[in-house]
Chain A
């Protein structure tokens, strides 16, 4: 069974640009989560999508947004990039079936903002 996949693996952008990160969940998983792992800040919850709807978001500004498609894949969009957005962005998926609430993570996208 394929795991969570993310693309691209690496990105370099300049301040002020916009970026889109992509995530495909494990087959059968309907929930997708996004996390940011910035140096010195640890792992922080960004967004949670389930069945196409945004269910919850962490303490991040509105320029962080996303969506979930009918096939449960998801995009994370970051507008007006700032230097501190440089981080590893991790996507995870889970199912409402048993075992619920276990999130399985993808390999991440490393974003560098110059």
Chain B
């Protein structure tokens, strides 16, 4: 069965610091998808990024970057020059390929990121 572990339950940094959120996953499938979502206090999950298992290229989007390493089953998320608006709970999630279907996501427990001004 698949599993996602986010070992950091809460991280607190001062604005403008860089911060990395860790995500480690377990799956028996060779084809799978990894995601990061942001959940602000309002509760809605905001999609940030999707990665396919066969695409290990790292990605940068503005202040956000993601490091996908199959060898260590990790998909870490870095925020550069953090801002107060980045404060939220961040979830890493995994979806296994199910023969043409799109299965339910398995989420980690989430990391509560607090950016102090």
Contacts and interface: CB of A to CB of B under 8 A. Distances in A.
Interface of A: 31, 33, 35, 42-46, 48, 50, 55-56, 58, 88, 90, 92, 94, 96, 99-108, 110
Interface of B: 33, 35, 37, 42-47, 50, 91, 93, 95, 98, 101-110
B104 A42 contact: no
Given A42-B109, A99-B50, A108 B44 contact: yes
Contacts of A42: 107-110
A42 B9 CA distance: 12
A31 B102 CA distance: 8
Given A102-B47, A105-B45, A43 B102 contact: no
Top 3 A-B residue pairs of the complex, sorted by shortest distance between their CB atoms: A45-B104, A105-B45, A43-B107
19 contacts: A33-B105, A43-B105, A43-B110, A46-B104, A56-B104, A88-B43, A90-B45, A94-B102, A96-B102, A99-B50, A101-B33, A101-B50, A102-B50, A103-B47, A103-B105, A105-B45, A106-B44, A107-B42, A107-B44
Given A31-B102, A42-B110, A56-B103, A105 B35 contact: no
A66 B33 CA distance: 26
